[in-house]
A and B are shown apart, each in its own frame.
Chain A
């Protein structure tokens, strides 16, 4: 009768646990898509996906947006190009990571303008930077997504 090796048993359990925490590229694609959708949902309702608070109102709605678009909600929507170019990309194979950003230089430029408050506009960034992270609502959605996947893998 073979002796049970507690150390080997523990290593096996740990390896199993690590495998359950590994997500495939396709699962990360799903997660990235979900994050972008949640961000767009919040932005469309005038809520920052970073702070979870309302975007500041336009300083002088007669100057901007004037007649280009309604002044409410403050949803960063004009032609639609900016938010359409917001995407999630999964990069890397051994340790894949999700990057949220824009697939257009023009949108990157606009985001910089929103972050820095270019041309006297109030700051309305949508991509977390430095010590910033996503709003609590986005983080809870990510947690729910991961918990669902983890439960499925455990079965």
Chain B
């Protein structure tokens, strides 16, 4: 597995047209916001995915191992931090955004997101599957950033 990802059109996600000029800047702002909000949810031990599952408790053995490194004794997806360091939200050439973990951290990410359907680990979903989306408060933030760019671009606000 080389990548666990969610590719999406941020405007379609919140029911808006694309802003005119400055669309790329708007998309970059939304990408930064999505990454921050996903990291924030995960750090709190909550799924940023709408209806997403999240087993917050750890097994006693893992909790013991984690206590030697971390002050967060619940599931926040961070032991050494390599997997979350690999999480990114990037602009794609076809005008979309992609939230993803690629490369050698991808199998770990699939372990909890189970995009492959083959994982037996407890579900802790932080990258939506194709038929999922983000939680309502994240979508509201995306919408407000997009609307702000509508105003800047001079295109009539929807």
- A residues with CB within 8 A of B: 41-42, 44-47, 52-54, 57, 69-75, 135-137, 140, 143-144
Contacts and interface: CB of A to CB of B under 8 A. Distances in A.
Contact of A45 (B33, B39, B69): B39
Given A47-B39, A135-B32, A135-B36, A73 B71 contact: yes
Nearest to B37: A137
Contact of B43 (A47, A69, A71, A143): A47
Interface string B57-95: 000000000011111100010111100110000000000
A131 to B, nearest CB: 15
A42 B29 CA distance: 18
A46 B78 contact: yes
Contacts of B40: 41-42, 45, 47, 137
A71 B32 contact: no
A51 to B, nearest CB: 8
B36 A144 contact: no
Contacts of A47: 36, 39-40, 43
B39 A73 contact: no
Contact of B70 (A41, A44, A54, A73): A73
A44 B68 CA distance: 18
A74 to B, nearest CB: 8
Contacts of B81: 46, 54, 57, 72-74
A71 B78 CA distance: 11
A33 to B, nearest CB: 19
Nearest to B142: A140
Interface of B: 29, 32-33, 35-37, 39-40, 43-44, 67-72, 76, 78-81, 84-85, 140-141, 144-145, 148
A155 to B, nearest CB: 21
A135 B37 CA distance: 10
B72 A136 contact: no
B84 A140 contact: no
B72 A72 contact: yes
Given A47-B43, A140-B141, A144-B144, A71 B70 contact: yes
B76 A73 contact: yes
Given A45-B43, A46-B43, A71 B37 contact: no
Contacts of B141: 136-137, 140
Given A71-B70, A73-B70, A140-B144, 15 more contacts: A42-B36, A45-B40, A45-B44, A47-B39, A52-B33, A52-B39, A53-B36, A54-B39, A54-B84, A57-B81, A57-B85, A70-B67, A70-B70, A73-B43, A137-B40
A68 B78 CA distance: 19
Nearest to A49: B36
B70 to A, nearest CB: 4
19 contacts: A42-B36, A52-B32, A52-B33, A53-B39, A54-B39, A54-B85, A70-B67, A70-B69, A70-B70, A72-B71, A72-B80, A72-B81, A135-B36, A136-B29, A136-B33, A137-B36, A137-B40, A137-B141, A143-B144
